[in-house]
Amino acid sequence: MKKVEAIIKPFKLDDVRQALSDIGITGMTATEVKGFGRQKGHTELYRGAEYVIDFLPKVKIEIVIGEALVDQAIEAITNAARTGKIGDGKIFVSDVQRVIRIRTGEEGEDAI
């Protein structure tokens, strides 16, 4: 099993959710986060004063899936989240050792 984490622009969340649903991934966790990479924030004017916004709003999506779906999930996220501009985000894939469904006690891929 693998955990796929994607950091995307907030307005792309619905597109990514739909793309994952289309390939059969039914569960995901989405969290509002802030961060920066190459964008390095931007400046804004507020009441005549200019100030720097270092951390930009993003959404972090987390899914745990079987290894057979990893490449499809990466492709779906990439295609749905891409705008072609800086700040589109990143995808991280890591191994998951064990998954347990609390309600039933199921383990492994049956639990996801």
Query: What's the pTM?
Result: 0.85
Q: Is 93 helix (H, G, I), strand (E, B) or coil?
A: strand
Dihedral of alpha carbons 47, 50, 55, 61, sign: positive
Band of residue 42 on the pLDDT scale cut at 50, 70, 90: low
Confidence of residue 11 (pLDDT cuts 50, 70, 90): very high
Q: Where are the domains of the chain?
A: 2-111
Task: Output the pLDDT for position 55.
Answer: 79
Domain 2-111 has CATH 3.40.50.1820: no
Q: State mean pLDDT over 21-29.
A: 94
Side chain identity, residue 95:
D
